[in-house]
Amino acid sequence: MRLIPRNSILYICTLLVMFAYAESVSADTVIGVDTIKYGKVTSIDKDSVSIAEGCDPNLVVKLSADSVRQVVFNSECKVPRDVPPIHGLNSDLCPDDPNETFYVVSFKEGRVFASELQLDADGTLIIAIANSDEKLRGPKTKVLLISRISTCQKYVPKNFRWPKEFSKSATP
């Protein structure tokens, strides 16, 4: 005696495969103060973040770095099913120390606080480590998320972890 007809099992398996594929792909996401853009991030520097909307190189939008709150990197160019949460360390608890802007670069291996970021055309991300004369260089594909935060020095950690694909060097 069969509890589920053979055609139903095939249908359920097909749906599961389709769902698994749909879950695994999405576009880079740039979350701004008043906008969310999907596509491929083409550049990051101290002044701006550029994204090719829908991965179309003819539809590049440049956003002011001050207006960007988060950048989420993904390998495919499809709109994600869920919008990532906007979070970060924004602190008004610094009465003796002024707030400064930092970038938190998150990897599977850990995170790095940065004072400045740059994304080269070849996909190399250059990270100026906060409170240091050192920089990291490595592939954008290893980055999960970049958040722009405002906090005081006492909340910036001293030790960081990053993927082995990133190399560390002194700033010239």
Domain assignment present for residue 95? The answer is no
User: Domain tally for the chain?
Assistant: 2
Whether the full predicted model's pTM is greater than 0.75, yes or no, is: no
Same domain, 105 and 159: yes
Same domain, 65 and 112: no
Same domain, 109 and 152: yes
Q: Domain boundary residue among 56, 72, 88?
A: 72
Confidence at residue 86, expressed as pLDDT on a 0 to 100 scale: 46
* DSSP category for residue 84: P
Burial category of 55 from C-beta neighbours within 10 Å (exposed 0-12, middle 13-18, buried 19 and up): middle
Contact 117, 130 (CB under 8 A): no
Same domain, 57 and 105: no
Same domain, 109 and 163: yes
Q: Phi/psi zone of residue 47: left (φ > 0), alpha (ψ -120 to 50 degrees), beta? A: alpha
Confidence at residue 119, expressed as pLDDT on a 0 to 100 scale: 94
Question: pLDDT category, 172, cuts 50, 70, 90?
Answer: low
Domain range for 31 is 6-72
pLDDT tens profile 155-168: 788 889 999 999 99
Contact 111, 104 (CB under 8 A): yes
Q: Domain boundary residue among 72, 87, 118?
A: 72
Q: How far is it, in rounded angstroms, from Cα 4 to Cα 28?
A: 40
Contact 27, 40 (CB under 8 A): yes
